[in-house]
Chain A
Amino acid sequence: MSKQKLTIAISGLNNVDSPGPGIPVIRGIRESVDIDPRIIGLAYENLEPGPYMREFVDKTYKVPYPSEGVDPLIERIRYIHEREQIDVLIPNFDSEIFVFIKLADKLGEMGIHTFLPTLSQFEERHKSNLPQYGEKHDITVPDSRPVTSFEDIEDLVRKGTFSWPLLVKGKFYDAYMARSADQARIYFNTVSAKWGLPVIVQEFIKGTEVNVVALGDGSGRTVGAVPMRKQYITDKGKAWGGITLDDPSMLDFTHHVMAATRWRGGMELELIRTPQNELYLIEINPRLPAWVYLAVAAGQNLPEALIKLAMGQKVPAWTRYDVGKIFIRYSFDMICDLDAFRKLSTTGEL
């Protein structure tokens, strides 16, 4: 049977020390047995490695940051679509998911398929809403509060709502453990300067961080899920090595989240396993994570399944994966011609 030719636009090409999921997602799609993809990279910066990785990305277009507004972004997508006839678009940054959910209908009218969570699914799982989310869906979560000033953190500690240590988190990325008011002030300023307000204060749960990459079809069904433990963590808290786990309780947890929320699209669950073997949900990232290729290697090509779901095709649910599969990330110096950099910088295309 011949492969289905699809043009797929993908962002998150910053394959750096805190990598976006773009390249790993592309890697999965390129290994599809059913899809013959043409990959269109959507880049925000001239030095994102993805555009220069020609074995993964066929053509790259620079796009405006979502923070510049919806109109410039959709106009740019329209321009790209006229040239490339995009079939599916997969945004891979937390910070752009909201905008693409808003644009999903417009993209659909243009013939560009997406497979994203609904706006309410996306909004309710925000870190600042975690306690309400846990209560609504019967999920164990640590106490979290949105704050808009350092004084709010002091108040929460004074009232006994939180005690040291606690976590200071950005609304999209970054988390710091503050052991004192002095540290909390520094982290509040760091996080708010980078990601804006509110900043999230979260109860510190002692235990081991474990993660699940999963894909939901929007009906409550889990199409695939692979649990992993980070074995090597960078100073930015990113996994630089990890291993797939045989942990039925993590899969049960994931199936429950999927069924309760009817999640549509890729997700990463960040969990803490306490010494008493309880699982706490600390975060849901509304997209496939940068370590998704581990799931592909373990037998679940979730990026391929995501494309098929976006195209309205039926995808059977996986029931197994290889346990003890390890990923080890590495850095590599690509050598590029100045001409490629010039082209992307001046024309916005490569």
Chain B
Amino acid sequence: MKIKKSLAISETGFVFDPSTGDSYTLNPIGLEIIQLLREGKSREDITKAMTRTFDVDSLTFERYYFDFLGMLKQMQLVESDE
């Protein structure tokens, strides 16, 4: 899944979509995931990175991860061909 190139994401987790004018606030975990997605990391890479940093097993993480991706899609924050 590719995050919209035009999104402005600040270090504090403030996300601005210049095409709609919508803005969002991410918590630190959401911010980290978005940054990894932006770097083009795969699901496996992201899961590895997150389970290494946080006290969570891969199955639990992926459940929340797919929820999060669904939310990004619903909010049209991913490239439209996704």
Residues of chain A touching chain B, judged by Cβ–Cβ distance below 8 Å, are: 208, 228-229, 231, 242-247, 277, 323-324
Given A246-B6, A324-B8: A208 touches B18 (CB 8 Å cut-off): no
A323 in contact with B20 (CB, 8 Å): no
A7 to chain B, nearest CB (A): 38
User: Which residues of B (29-80) have their CB < 8 Å from a CB of A?
Assistant: 80
Which B residues are in CB contact (< 8 Å) with A242?
21
A253 to chain B, nearest CB (A): 14
Q: Mark B1-17, 1 if CB is under 8 A from A, else 0.
A: 00000101000000010
How far, in whole Å, are A337 and B80 apart by their CA atoms in the complex? 58
Which B residues are in CB contact (< 8 Å) with A243?
21
Which B residues are in CB contact (< 8 Å) with A208?
20
A229 in contact with B20 (CB, 8 Å): yes
Q: In this assembly, does B27 line the interface, its C-beta being within 8 Å of a C-beta of chain A?
A: no
How far, in whole Å, are A229 and B21 apart by their CA atoms in the complex? 7
Measured as residues with beta carbon below 8 angstroms from the partner, the interface class of chain B is under 10
B8, B18, B21, B80 — most chain A CB neighbours (10 Å): B21
A88 to chain B, nearest CB (A): 33
The chain B residue sitting closest to A323, CB to CB, is B18
Instruction: Report the 5 A-B pairs with minimum CB-CB distance, sorted nearest first.
Output: A246-B18, A229-B21, A243-B21, A323-B18, A245-B21
In-complex Cβ contact of B19 among A228, A231, A245 (8 A): A245
How far, in whole Å, are A8 and B72 apart by their CA atoms in the complex? 50
A246 in contact with B16 (CB, 8 Å): no
The chain B residue sitting closest to A231, CB to CB, is B21
Which A residues are in CB contact (< 8 Å) with B21?
228-229, 231, 242-245, 324
A226 to chain B, nearest CB (A): 12
The chain B residue sitting closest to A229, CB to CB, is B21
The chain B residue sitting closest to A246, CB to CB, is B18
Which B residues are in CB contact (< 8 Å) with A246?
6, 18-19
How far, in whole Å, are A260 and B20 apart by their CA atoms in the complex? 26
A324 in contact with B18 (CB, 8 Å): yes
Other than the given A208-B20, A324-B18, 17 more pairs (CB < 8 A) read A228-B21, A229-B20, A229-B21, A231-B21, A244-B21, A245-B18, A245-B19, A245-B20, A245-B21, A246-B6, A246-B18, A246-B19, A247-B19, A277-B80, A323-B18, A324-B16, A324-B21
B8, B16, B19, B20 — most chain A CB neighbours (10 Å): B19
How far, in whole Å, are A283 and B6 apart by their CA atoms in the complex? 29
Q: List 22 A-B contacts (CB under 8 A).
A: A208-B20, A228-B21, A229-B20, A229-B21, A231-B21, A242-B21, A243-B21, A244-B21, A245-B18, A245-B19, A245-B20, A245-B21, A246-B6, A246-B18, A246-B19, A247-B19, A277-B80, A323-B18, A324-B8, A324-B16, A324-B18, A324-B21
The chain A residue sitting closest to B8, CB to CB, is A324
The chain B residue sitting closest to A244, CB to CB, is B21
How far, in whole Å, are A244 and B20 apart by their CA atoms in the complex? 9
The chain A residue sitting closest to B18, CB to CB, is A246
A326 to chain B, nearest CB (A): 9
The chain A residue sitting closest to B6, CB to CB, is A246
How far, in whole Å, are A135 and B67 apart by their CA atoms in the complex? 44
How far, in whole Å, are A247 and B21 apart by their CA atoms in the complex? 10
A126 to chain B, nearest CB (A): 29
